[in-house]
A and B are shown apart, each in its own frame.
Chain A
Amino acid sequence: MSSTFETVANIIAETCDIPRDTIKPESHAIDDLGIDSLDFLDIAFAIDKAFGIKLPLEQWTQEVNDGKATTEQYFVLNNLCARIDGLVAAKGA
């Protein structure tokens, strides 16, 4: 998890020009860091490449829009990193 967070935080810092030290595991990508949907496409692209996965953004967005999930479940960074770890593990299974 810690290395996943480091990778994701560095991607966010570089992609969105956000000071690295302001990016915390408990940060909400949208509410705390102010990342908009367009910037998040760049972040998703970089995460997909870095981890060899495909973040299921369409599914997540649908679940949030349908009220089946909250944005915190996907966009608080420690939650996001846990989901990345899960996708990486599933890929290797």
Chain B
Amino acid sequence: MRIEYFQLIDRITALNLADHTIKTEALVPTTSTIFEGHFPGYPLMPGVLLIESMAQTAGWLIVAERRFESMPFLASLKEVKLRTFVTPGSQLSLSANLVHDGSGFAVTKAEGRFEDKIICDATITFRIMPFPNAQFRTSMQQVAERLAFPMEAIGNG
């Protein structure tokens, strides 16, 4: 998890375009300036970052579904539940599935788990737009490589 770059996913562990599902991993860092303020003497992963972790997981699924031709942008959240505290050093497993592939938007459901226990879940809607420029698309492909994005999955999907 690269909190300082707002890149919260470490690795894509599974991608299945037939089932429209994705799984990712994210390790909450043991130290971060965020924990100095949230909270002093009682460090907790901020809930908004758990939401963002789910959104990035679902977002990568949409990037895969659209074969890097367009970019999902977070549009709305429903039924968000933050079920338990998450502390530094926690290894999170996240997953998402596509609920609806609309024209210019997509609806997904995502959840996060720690030691097999659900810690957060949400229904997340994205606007889907063409990449605003080539540099952005290239940077996403570079991040995808770092995340072990399975390119063969979209080639065969």
Contacts and interface: CB of A to CB of B under 8 A. Distances in A.
Contacts of A45: 100, 102, 105, 107, 125
Interface in B100-144: 100-105, 107, 125, 127
Contacts of B102: 41, 44-45, 48, 54-55, 57
Give the size category of B's interface with A. 10 to 19
Nearest to B101: A54
Contacts of B107: 45
A63 to B, nearest CB: 13
A61 interface: yes
Given A45-B107, A45-B125, A57-B105, A38 B75 contact: yes
A4 to B, nearest CB: 18
B31 interface: no
B120 to A, nearest CB: 22
B156 interface: no
Contacts of A66: none
A49 B102 CA distance: 10
Task: Sort A-B residue pairs by CB-CB distance and give the 4 closest, nearest first.
Answer: A58-B104, A57-B103, A41-B105, A57-B104
